[in-house]
Amino acid sequence: MGIFDFFKRNKKAAKDEKPSSEQVAFAEHVLLIISQTGERFGFKRVRKEIKRYSTTITFRKRNQYLKVENSSYPTDYPYYYSIVLGEGDSDDFFEYDWNSVSLAALVNIVSPKSNEISYRFPIGDPKFADTIKGSLENANQDLVKYGATFLNGDLSIFHQARKKINEEREPYKISVIDQNGTRQTTYDPKSAEQKKKYS
């Protein structure tokens, strides 16, 4: 199985999944809180996908998008959710992986002296709905405060953050054993191309 096969889920199984109560509550609060901010700045919801272990909700304005997503798959512990700001195709893995930044990364550019932010997805909290609502309200305030230029269509700070992140990361690696039994590792050509394009 290749590295990118890992990201592909069985579509039939995904359709048959019943969303967990935490994912349903998360999605409801995203639609109540984040969508209002998005709409105020001209972003319209284009995708809502709620599964047993994950939620993805995407809002677009022309070539820009906001994506709110989380994963509570047991292998993805510790659990967090993220608000992603991006440009271009929000569904193509290679595009959004290199042409987007998390709100947390943008904060580091706008306010480098601020404490590092992250947004916990509090599985197991007996007051999950209230906790996630308060967390999303705080995240929404961060989005308005630190993402204002992006929301208003000025991508200069977004491009600065994207460049910084991509300069510091390596393209994905492909490792195979050749006919002599020696392991050969090379960069995946598509991610190497995206690194060059967006660094």
pLDDT at 199: 86
Task: For residue 179, give Cα distances in angstroms to 63, 171, 174, 189.
Answer: 45, 25, 16, 21
pLDDT at 13: 47
pLDDT at 178: 84
pLDDT at 15: 52
Task: Provide the H-helix boundaries in the chain.
Answer: 11-16, 21-40, 93-98, 103-110, 128-146, 148-151, 156-167, 189-198
pLDDT at 82: 95
* DSSP-assigned beta bridge partners for residue 50: 55
Distance CA 114, CA 112 (A): 6
> What token pair was written down for 94?
């290679």
Distance CA 73, CA 54 (A): 7
Distance CA 163, CA 108 (A): 13
State CA 23 to chain mean position distance. 16
Distance CA 31, CA 40 (A): 13
pLDDT at 12: 46
* Residues of the chain falling short of pLDDT 70: 1-16, 115
pLDDT at 10: 47
